[in-house]
Structure 1
Amino acid sequence: MTIPLTLEQQQKLGHVSVLYSPPTLAETPHSNTTLRFGLIADPQYADAEPGVTHLRFYRNSLCKLEKAITELNDHRLEFVVTLGDLVDREWESFAAVMSVYEALRHPHAVVIGNHDAQVISEHLAQQVPVAGLPKSYYQFSQSGYRFIVIDGNDLSLYCNAGNGEQHQQARAMLNVLEEEQRPQAQPWNGAVGLRQLEWIEQTLQQAKRQNETVLVFGHYPLAPDNRHNLWNCEQLVELLCRYQVRAYFAGHDHEGNYARIGNTDFITLKGMVDGADRLPFAMIEVKNGELTVNGYGPEISRFLPLEAPIVSETFS
């Protein structure tokens, strides 16, 4: 299932509408034994001076992204996923960063991050009539694997008037989390809504019937506990672990993180925008259930067996 853009949304988004399209994979994978794909998190480009507080070098992201794409193009990958926040601010930023992505020779799946969502939503809110922030959850598959992209901006403060009552629902959910003093009770996070939760479970049921290995991609981390996590992260963790999802990959927390819950690995990649020269990204290999993260730059490399004796593990 893909929530297609309306004709009105396509027209108002223009070239940015391609970010909502699922990738089309080759019918025959490059390898019969090993799945390989690339991961990029939070380029967060803007034509802006570096952030003093977080040491984010927004302009440098274009050069960093070019280097990462050049490296990924040298490998036989099935696809590349950008885990959100292609841009930091301003509608014009999309044209610059998407021009760099044109050099990518692999199918590309994009997760819409909170900064992306805010820029897109503000652009659509300025149109007449107002168009709501589109939903961006979908699935794709290849030879024994099911890939699911979830939309953590489904219920968020980025929803505009075109999304009906969803902005108010998001505010109410955030108020409850703030009263409970939950660490993820931050206005720059979001949640997966009920309809999407039902779709995710239906997709997992279908994958289980077909004996497929499932990998899930989102912008907001789910575990361990963190102020960057999805508002309803506990619901997603329970759901993914119940269906034995092999791994969940996220961005958003630029420091990166890791947790193992049951037999599911929760991997958060470091943010590309941080630091003048730091260039984190990764290539993932999956073989016989074993998962290898080949980290570049400061990104941590990991070997993750199918079954681990440790219930939960965290790295900073």
Structure 2
Amino acid sequence: MMNRSTIVLPFILCLLGTPLLQADEPAEVDSNRFQQARSRTFLAFDSQTEWTWSKPYFFMQLADPQYGMFTGNQGLDREKVLVEQAVEHINRLQPKFVIVCGDLTNATPNQARYEAQVTQYQQDFSLIDSKIPLVCVCGNHDVGNRPNAESIARYTHHFGDDYFSFWVGGVFHVVLNSSLLKDPSDTPERLQQQQAWLERQLQHPRVKDAKHIFVFLHHPLFLEQEDEPDQYFNIPLERRTPLIALLKEAHVRAIFAGHYHRNAYGRAGEMEMITTGPVGRPLGKDPSGLRIVQVQETSIEHNYHTLDTVPAAIE
């Protein structure tokens, strides 16, 4: 039986002219969609059926929506408009999956506006067709420049595991927490755990038969040269060099990153290092956009498109 306050409160709110639901209020967020990265895998894809090559496919990579960056955390409108454009393209093209390579928000987990930015991100990205899996990667704004147990826990509460792997059509995909590689000083044991896990993944007998191996993270390992000097936008050589050696040995085909807020490209032997410009605020000459990656059995093709030049269809 309803108590008196249950009946009276909505009545009072209506009298005050405050509707219980705004007409333009976003639909309820499907929180399960943002919790697909669990137990170090991505539940939207069944590894048992995705181990083998089936046919060519394409996916779309976004980076740095970074809600709040345009206004220093004072507003989210400009990011919202750009993401809405991207979502329209995604729903029209119907990729195999979409992956967002970090800095989902501008505020970090210990800042006051973090939760509001997470809410806006989830509301906007929930508008992607439910048949298209959405993969989220953590960036330095998502777990902090020096991640710790608490900041990672805040991220995983909203978005699932910070590192994991999954199969799609005979291709093996690895997602890493690159903030641990950038500065592990507050939680060195977590970097060790990720490293041990990565080595086990790459040494698995089935992975050796993958048509391609792709790695996704937020920070580029390097921008143009694998031995370039340390700087803000790459991973320090101390951890970069042995990681590149490991990835080369495993025959990783390509690494996809964001963080730079513009495009960059380099190679380490046959392995491509692909840095994608932002769907949010640009910091260079590359306008806001996204990357389309077409995967063939023996090759890949990838192109960055501004939000105004995304093709009408993918052959």
RMSD: 3.8
Paired-residue identity, %: 22
Q: How does 1:213-224 map to 2 (within 5 A)?
A: 213-223=212-222, 224=224
The count of residues paired between Structure 1 and Structure 2 equals 250
Change (3 A) 1:137 1:73: same
1:45 aligns with 2:73: no
| Unmatched runs of 5 consecutive residues or more in structure 2 | 1-30, 108-112, 311-315
Deviation per residue, 1:288-315 (Å, 9 max, x gap): 32211132118999xxxxxxxxxxxxxx
The answer on whether the counterparts of 2:85 and 2:307 sit within 8 Å (CA) in structure 1 is: no
Q: Structure 2 counterpart of 1:246, which letter? A: R
For 2:82, which of 64, 87, 90 is the aligned residue?
64
Larger radius of gyration: 2
TM-score by length of 2: 0.68
Report the secondary structure of 1:154's partner residue. Answer: helix
Q: Which of 105, 112, 137 is the equivalent residue of 2:138?
A: 112
Within a 5 Å distance, the mapping from 1:97-176 to structure 2 comes to 97-105=121-129, 106-118=132-144, 124=150, 136-154=162-180, 167=186, 169=188
Q: 2-side partners of 1:200 and 1:18: how far apart?
A: 21
Instruction: List aligned pairs for 1:1-316, cutoff 5 A.
Output: 18=35, 20-21=37-38, 22-25=42-45, 27=49, 32-46=54-68, 49=71, 59-89=77-107, 90-91=113-114, 92-105=116-129, 106-118=132-144, 124=150, 136-154=162-180, 167=186, 169=188, 193-206=191-204, 207-223=206-222, 224=224, 225=228, 227=231, 228-231=233-236, 232-275=239-282, 278-297=287-306
Q: 1:156 to 1:245 in 2, by over 3 A?
A: closer
SS in 2 for 1:198: helix
TM-score under structure 1 normalisation? 0.67
Moved more, 67-76 or 292-301: 292-301
SS in structure 2 at match of 1:266: strand
Alpha carbons 2:50, 2:170 under 8 Å: kept: no
Kept in 2: contact 1:16–1:94 (CA 8 A) = no
Residues of 2 paired with 1:237 and 1:81: CA distance? 22
Secondary structure of 1:278's partner? Answer: coil
Gaps of 5+ in 1: 1-13, 52-56, 160-165, 171-191, 302-316
Q: CA deviation at 1:255?
A: 2.1
Kept after mapping to 2: 8 A contact 1:49/1:59:
no
Amino acid of the residue matched to residue 163 of structure 2?
Y
Distance 1:220 1:48, change over 3 A: closer
Stretch of structure 1 that moved more, 143-152 or 200-209: 200-209
Is the Cα contact below 8 Å between 1:120 and 1:133 reproduced in 2?
no
Residue aligned with 1:141, SS: strand
